[in-house]
Structure 1
Amino acid sequence: MDVLIPGERLRRWEERTEIPLFAAALLFLACYAVRVLARGADPLLRDTALAVALAVWLVFVLDYAVRLVLSGERLRFPHRHRMDTLAMILPLLRLLRIVPLYNAVQQKREQPRLNLQARVIAYAGLSAVLLAFAGSLAVYSCERSAPGATIRTFGDAVWWAAATLSTVGYGDVTPVTPLGRVIAVAMMACGIALLGAVTGSFSSWLLQTFRRDDEEKPPDS
């Protein structure tokens, strides 16, 4: 029987669990949405959503513990895997693990991979949608009852998230609570990163297309 090194065991664990854990992250987001948006709903529904969200969070904690053991890195693991650590603390960040999810799906399907530019654009687009929805929920939860708040409805929160992620920043609705502003800073940073990735990828695709056209053009007689 072959003995797997720690890194190989961790890789196999991630391949097997990436898709189920992403589905669990979507379930966590759904439960969080129920807690935030269904304020006047049946208390049983809200309590059930809370219980399911806590159960999913415990699954993430267990997954993190397994990763830590399988990696063989011990106390170095949190430092070397910061995103995993943040996702364990804030489960909504688990939704940003699009690249590992894509790789796990490709392992199960014998279809050609998308080219680099398409992957970057698809990753950025899906990440932006998930970030906008999660950020809208989070800032709406913080702001809706705050004195002097301009984000009073979930629609206001969605509008704010779209303007922030796109780096437009109209300023007509802005967070006033400390936690809301922390969320805003994080959304701004993510928006700049995603916009830069898409712009750079699209520019690279254009350059490759023009270069290929120039190479295929017949020489002047």
Structure 2
Amino acid sequence: MRDDSRQARWENRTEAPLAVASLLYLTAYAVWVLAAGLPAVWRGVCLAVLLAAWAAFAVDYAVRWRLSGLGPRFVRTHWLDTLVLVLPLLRPLRVVHVYEAIQRRNGRPRLALHARVVTYAGLSALLLGFTGALAVYQQEHTARGTTIHTFGDAVWWAAATLATVGYGDVSPVTPMGRLIAVGMMACGLALLGAVTGSFSSWLLQVFAREDDERPPGR
């Protein structure tokens, strides 16, 4: 059934513009971190984009809080939205949610459930890896005793961390870098568990279907 509440209408109208704002935020942050030699005017433009995008996220959060009618309980029941507001680098992950919503508006999703889990986990891993690499590189590349000197080092570290491999050849040394690492480890475990569970479930369904189709006596 279609939800005609004001909150649902607000979310339907704003999800696409906010997805664009999320990508603009990530792009501006990437330019801010990686292009350190930019002229001051362009760094000012990047900062303006960052602040404007975050302001849009804050307005959306406040409006949905007001329309929900939950009062302070909104923070507890929508803890992920609160976390994204505090850490706006995680906001681009909502692009996956927007893609899912667009698929459902056009009818049934084109991909099967297991394929969607793997696809969305892959997209989430790419976005998390890129944003995590940016954040760690910003904190680490000028720190004393660091092993992360280039953005390539940060990307390698992010890939190893999300894959739960942890080679240890490069690792953060600053408190903020290590805090980011803890979050990346938790996300890597969650994504790996989702993909592994979905793949195992798919295999069980395939084997069960083969047993059902096998002629009696064989």
8 Å contact 2:96–2:123 — kept in the other structure?
A: no
Q: Quick one: which of 172, 177, 183 aligns to 1:175?
A: 172
Q: Is structure 2 residue 70 aligned with structure 1 residue 77? A: no
1:108 CA drift (Å): 3.6
| Distance in 1, Cα, partners of 2:33 & 2:96 | 28
Q: Is structure 2 residue 31 aligned with structure 1 residue 34? A: yes
- Give the structure 2 partner of residue 157 of structure 1: 154
1:104-123 mapped onto 2 (5 Å cutoff): 104-110=101-107, 112-123=109-120
1:23-80 Cα offsets, whole Å, 9 max, x none, are 2111100000011000012222111011111000000000001100110111111111
Q: TM-score, normalised by structure 1?
A: 0.93
C-alpha change, 1:213 and 1:107, in structure 2 (3 Å) is closer
What letter matches 1:17 in structure 2? T
How high is the sequence identity, in percent, across the aligned residues?
62
Q: Quick one: which of 36, 53, 59 aligns to 2:50?
A: 53
Q: Quick one: which of 204, 207, 211 aligns to 2:204?
A: 207
- Give the structure 2 partner of residue 194 of structure 1: 191
Contiguous gaps of at least 5 residues in structure 1: none
Divergent runs of 4+, >4 A: none
Q: Quick one: which of 61, 64, 75 aligns to 2:61?
A: 64
1:126-165 mapped onto 2 (5 Å cutoff): 126-165=123-162
Q: TM-score, normalised by structure 2?
A: 0.94
What letter matches 2:12 in structure 1? E
1:166-204 Cα offsets, whole Å, 9 max, x none, are 001000000000000000000000000000000000010
